[in-house]
């Protein structure tokens, strides 16, 4: 059970830090067409994730639940970007990383709840 908990926590960290990195790298350097100011777009996309960094690193259950809900927004953004003419690769990356973030956050909270129930019943 502990190994699964670590696995899901690592998947959450990979999803969150990967999303943060790909947003900065793509919008900062790799984007072929930029209709909005680069700094503004990075700030708009990064700002919601920054609220959860400390809680995810510390392993807080509530933050994992909240970030799994927030990851759905990034999933929809990723799907939208897949169909953008020159940002398909960016869309696939955001979709994959947000899916990792969702799975990691959801299953981390679920396993943590099961472990707490087992400790209460003992």
Query: pTM for the whole thing?
Result: 0.91
What are the two backbone dihedrals, phi and then psi, of residue 59, each rounded to the nearest 5 degrees? 80, 30
Nearest-CA neighbor of 22 among 67, 105, 78, 104?
A: 78
pLDDT surpassing 90 at residue 54: yes
pLDDT for 31 equals 79
Alpha carbon distance 5, 9 (integer Å): 6
Contact between 19 and 97 under an 8 Å Cβ cutoff? The reply is: yes
pLDDT for 70 equals 96
Once rounded to an integer, what is the mean pLDDT over residues 64-93?
94
């Amino acid at each position: 059970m502990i190994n699964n908990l670590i696995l899901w926590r690592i998947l959450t960290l990979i999803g969150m830090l990967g999303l943060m990195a790909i947003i900065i790298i793509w919008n900062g350097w790799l984007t072929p067409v930029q209709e909005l100011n680069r700094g503004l777009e990075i700030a708009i996309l990064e700002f919601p994730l920054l609220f959860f960094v400390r809680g995810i690193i510390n392993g807080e259950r509530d933050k994992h639940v909240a970030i799994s809900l927030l990851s759905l927004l990034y999933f929809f953004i990723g799907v939208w970007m897949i169909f953008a003419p020159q940002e398909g690769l960016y869309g696939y990356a955001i979709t994959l990383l947000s899916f990792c973030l969702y799975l990691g956050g959801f299953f981390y909270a679920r396993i943590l709840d099961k472990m707490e129930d087992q400790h209460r019943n003992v």
